Amino acid sequence: MIHRMGLAFYRKYRPKQLADVLGQETNVALLKNAARDGRLGHAYLFYGPRGTGKTTTARLIAKLLNCERRRNETAFAKTGEPCNVCLACTSVDAQGSFDVIEIDAASNRGIDEIRNLKESIVTAPSHGTHKIYIIDEAHMLTPAAWNALLKTLEEPPRHAVIILATTEYEKLPPTITSRTQRFLFKKLSKTHIMEKLRRIAKAEKITIDDAALEIIAAAGEGSARDAESLLDQAASWGGNIDARTVEELTGRAGLRKVHALAELVLKKELGKALEALRARHDEGHNMTDFTKDLIHYLRKALTLALHPALLKAYRLDFTDEELKSLQSLTPLMKSETAIPLIRALIRSYAEMRYSQFAAIPIEIALIEQLQVTRDK
């Protein structure tokens, strides 16, 4: 019997049109307007954290440029979207287009690869009207490679479009960035990622509760791709997927456990806080990640206490129920104690990243902070 490998969720549910790109509304609006007006550029730079849609959007531009229906139907071209039916669109989706050349600069970073690009870019497209070069992890190119690319980037052939994608914008030479249209791709909010995970779970008939989805979305840390890969992994467990299952899979605690510890700490219940930490450690949670989650949670509670108008912004990071829990901590947030506490936790987090002692740094930080404030 031949076993066929299933397509990974992040590939299977990759956006097929700009409207499907998650959490990048400004970029989508600008690119759709440019497509409607026939004003797509010849050089783009997409930068931002991993898994936020940079390469996906580059491929969508490739579809827009060569879509046969857009070329033949003026009314459809005004939608600013590819048709996803013609040969040009389907070949890009299948990563089989001869007119879309993707270069991974992490492993093809030298001057020889860029010279090959310069030689091939002058030849006409095989089927469509444009040749699109997508250079991923562009910050990995060598200085010599950048110099070789500079002239081509400034004056490419009329049929050529170059799209650079990077997670480290600051490593790119200003001579390169100034010759491109630059688009920042933001980290995705937890609620946006949860929405997409719900759609995938429904399509794949995966039974998973909201608490489990929250942990997966949070573990993605702003990357839809990372979260989709975790959901893919969790789906292989079979049956109903609950928070405990996902906690075991990721080593990450759910927000309820973070909130519970935060509440104990703010109420200065040192003994119970240490017991809660011990329980998280015994459950196998990654204590470094747990400490980081606690820092972020306390920081948001403090800023919300000081500036309640932030509530609107935090709706992207929390469900309604989670937001109510966060708000319940604001009366306990006092700047004179909360700020030293958060600073102590940041120090303990830095120590834990390179320590073999698991939970000891955060335990010491809590003892020092809560013991001192209680003695006062």
Fold of 190-250: Helicase, Ruva Protein; domain 3 (1.10.8)
State both tokens at 290: 């747990």
Question: For residue 182, what are the CA distances in angstroms to 44, 174, 358?
Answer: 6, 12, 42
More confident residue, 47 or 359: 47
Contact residues for 11 (Cβ-Cβ < 8 A; gap 6+): none
What is the predicted pLDDT for the residue at 5? 54
- Kindly indicate the confidence band of residue 326, based on its pLDDT and cuts at 50, 70 and 90: very high
Contact (Cβ atoms closer than 8 angstroms) between residue 297 and residue 259: yes
* Residue pLDDT, tens place only, 187-215: 999 999 999 999 999 999 999 999 999 99
pLDDT for residue 6 is more than 80: no
Residue 355 in this model has a pLDDT that exceeds 80: no
> Does pLDDT of 2 surpass 60?
no
Residue 376 predicted with pLDDT over 70: no
**In the predicted model, is pLDDT for residue 3 greater than 80?**
no
pLDDT for 59-82, tens place per residue? 999 999 999 999 999 999 999 999
Confidence band, pLDDT 50/70/90 cuts, at residue 1? very low
Tell me the percentage of the chain whose pLDDT exceeds 90.
70
What is the chain's mean pLDDT, rounded?
Answer: 91
Over residues 252-267, the pLDDT tens digits come to 888 899 999 999 999 9
Query: Rounded mean pLDDT of 310-320?
Result: 88
- The tokens describing 27, both together, are 């970029």
Lowest mean pLDDT among 75-84, 176-185, 214-223: 214-223
pLDDT score at 374? 54
- What are the start-end ranges of the E strands in the chain? 43-47, 100-104, 131-136, 160-166, 181-184
Report d(CA 236, CA 246) in Å as an integer: 12
Whether the pLDDT of residue 179 is over 90: the answer is yes
Name the one residue in this structure whose structure tokens are 């400004």. 26
Which tokens go with 151?
């002239």
List of residues 6+ apart from 298 with CB closer than 8 A? 262, 265, 266, 338, 341, 342, 345
Q: Class assignment of domain 255-375? A: mainly alpha
**What residue spans define the domains of the chain?**
9-184, 190-250, 255-375
Provide the CATH topology of domain 9-184. Rossmann fold (3.40.50)
Contact 208, 239 (CB under 8 A): no
pLDDT at 375 over 60: no
Instruction: Give dist(CA 83, CA 309) in Å, integer.
Output: 42
330-211-332 Cα angle (round to 5): 10
Whether the per-residue pLDDT at 304 is higher than 50: the answer is yes
Residue 241 has phi, psi (to 5 degrees) of -100, 115
Mean pLDDT value across residues 46-60: 95
Per-residue pLDDT tens over the stretch 91-113? 999 989 999 999 998 887 777 77
Q: Residue 45: is its pLDDT beyond 50? A: yes
The DSSP code for 254 is -
Q: Where are the beta strands (DSSP E) in 116-271?
A: 131-136, 160-166, 181-184
